[in-house]
Amino acid sequence: MIPVAKEVGSLRTIAAGGIVSPTGNPELSPEKEKQFRRELVLRALQTLQKEV
Amino acid sequence: MNTPIRVVHYLNQFFAQVGGEDKGDVGPTFKAGVIGAGRALQQALGDQAEVVATIYCGDNFFAEQQQQAIDELLRHVAEYKADMLIAGPAFESGRYGVACGAICHAAQQKLGIATVTGMDEDNVGAGLYRKHIYIVNSGATIARMVPTLQRMAALGLKLVRREPIGKPADEGYLSRGIKRNELVAKPPAERGVDMLLAKLAGKEFHSEIAPPKFAGGKPAAPLRDLKSAVIALVTDGGLVVEGNPDKIEPGRPTRFTTIPIHNVNTLDADKFDAVHSGYDTASANQDPNRLVPLDTMRELAREGVIGAVHEFIHSTGGAHAAVENATQIGRQIADQLKAAGVTGVILTST
C-alpha cells in the first residue's frame, strides 16, 4: 500500500507486515513475531527522525 | 408575450465602479439597472431577461460581516422580485470569489431562486461553494469577462426555465461532484479498452471519472530526540474496544474512535476488536497488536528508547473513505494529538 500512501501525500512511510497484519505475521512463532514487530516499530521510529 | 426573467447582478466595489482596495469597506448597496460589466450581461441575456438591479458590497465588508451583508443584499434581491441572481465573475480575486459564492448559496437556500457565479477554478470561493452552486470557470484574468458572462447568462436562463443542465465540460461550469446515470451503447470494458488504446496511440481521451486531488501536507520536522518523544498510535484499520462502543463504521467512515489505553500494556484479543470492511480481520482479532503495536511501544517506553506512549489510540475504519471525510477525520485527530503534546505518530494502515 506504499504507492497509495505516497499518492495521498504521506511523507514518511515504511512497508510493514502486510494488509491484514501490519505489525505482525501470523505465520511466525510468537517470539519471532514479537521480534519482527519490534524491528518494524524501531524502523518506524527511525523514519520519524529522518529529514524529508 | 412572456414577461422577461428578472435578474439581479452582484458586484464588488471595484466592478461596481465605487473604488479600489481603499473602498473595500463599503457596505451593501443597490442601484436599479446595470453597472459596468452588467451591460455585457444584459447583452448576453438578450430580450429574454432583464437585469433589473445591481447589488454590491465592498469585499472587506463582506468578509468581515458576512451575515449582515448577505441579509441586506438578499433583502434587495427579494424586493426586486428577482428570478435569478448572477454574481461576478470574480476571476482569481479570493475575497470577491468567496462573496459571490456565499451570496449565491444564500439566495438559492433562502429565496429559492436560480443563481450562477463565475470565477477561476483555483479561487478559494470555488473550493468552498462549487458543490452547492453553479460556478462558471472564468479563468484567472478579466480578459475573459465577456465570454464568461455569456456562459453564465446561458446557464442561468436554463436554470430559471428548469431545462436540463449538461455536463460541466459542455456548459462551462465547475464540476459539482454530481454523478448521473447515462445510457451508452458500449459497455465499460469496451470503453476502457478504447481509452487505453487511445492513450497508447497518444490520442486524446476523456476519463469518465475525475481522480480526486490530494493536497500534500507540509513535512513535520524530524524528531530530534526519541528519548523525550511522546509517540501516539493511530490506525485506519478499525481497531475498537470490544463491542465497538463508539460505533465507528467498518467502511465509508465519517468518524473515529478515541481509545483510552492508560495502564493497558497490550491489546488483548478479548478486549479489542478490528472492525473493517476492507480486509480480513481474523489475524488482527486474534492479536490486535498486529494492527496497533501497543505491546512493543510499551516495552520501548519501559526501556527508555522513547519518552512515552500517548494515552489514547485514535482509530477509524478506512475502507472506501470519501476524501472529504478522511481529510476531516485526519484533521480532527491531528488537532487532538497536537493539543495533547504528542511529538510523533505511528499510523498503521491496512
Best probe of the B interface among A19, A21, A33, by most B CBs < 10 A, is A21
pLDDT band at A3 (very low <50, low <70, confident <90, very high): confident
pLDDT at B185: 93
DSSP calls for B225-244: -GGG-EEEEEESB-EEETT-
Closest CA to B10 of B176, B167, B133: B133
Q: B207 in a domain, yes or no?
A: no
Residue B237 lies inside a defined structural domain of this protein = yes
Instruction: State whether B37 and B138 are in the same domain.
Output: yes
Residue B189 belongs to some domain of the structure: no
Of B137, B171, B205, the one marking the end of a domain is: B171
Q: Considering only alpha carbons, which residue of chain A is nearest residue B323?
A: A8
Q: Do B165 and B267 belong together in one domain?
A: no
Which distant-in-sequence residues (6+ apart) come within 8 Å of B187 by Cβ? none
Domain boundary among B171, B204, B234: B171
CB nearest A22 (choices: B215, B222, B348): B348
Distance CA B282, CA B288 (A): 10
The whole-number average pLDDT for the span A5-23 is 88
Low-confidence ranges of chain B (pLDDT < 50): 1
Enclosing domain of residue B51: 5-171
CATH number at residue B61: 3.40.50.2300
Q: Which residues 244-303 of B are in CB contact (within 8 Å) with A?
A: 279-284, 286-287, 289-293, 295-297, 299-300
Q: Which residue from B minimizes the CA distance to A35?
A: B296
Where in chain A are the domains?
2-48
The model scores a pTM over 0.80: no
- Write down the residue that cell numbers 497509495 correspond to: A4
Q: Which residues of B touch A43 (CB under 8 A)?
A: none
Question: Do residue B348 and residue A19 have CB atoms under 8 angstroms apart?
Answer: no
Average pLDDT over residues A9-22: 90
Work out the pLDDT band at A4, boundaries 50, 70, 90.
confident
| Domain end among B171, B187, B217 | B171
Q: Could you give the CA distance from residue B3 to residue B7 in angstroms, rounded to a whole number?
A: 12
Please give the residue of chain A at the shortest CA–CA distance from B305.
A42
Cβ atoms within 10 Å of B304's Cβ, excluding its own: 9
B201: in domain: no
CA distance B55 to B260: 54
For residue A10, the tally of other CB atoms under 10 A from its CB is 16
Amino acid occupying residue B252:
R
| Contact criterion met (CB < 8 Å) for A48 and B305 | no
DSSP state of B76: H
CA distance linking residue A37 with residue B28, whole number of Å: 63
Q: Which residues of chain B are within 8 Å of residue A23 when distances are taken between CB atoms?
A: 289-293, 296, 348
Domain annotation covers residue B106: yes
How many domains is chain B built from? Answer: 2
Q: Is position B199 within any domain?
A: no
C-alpha torsion B117→B122→B128→B133, nearest 10: 30
| B77 and B150 housed in the same domain | yes
pLDDT grade, residue A7 (50/70/90)?
A: confident
From residue B112, give the alpha-carbon distance in Å to each of B77, B106, B188, B335.
Answer: 11, 9, 38, 37
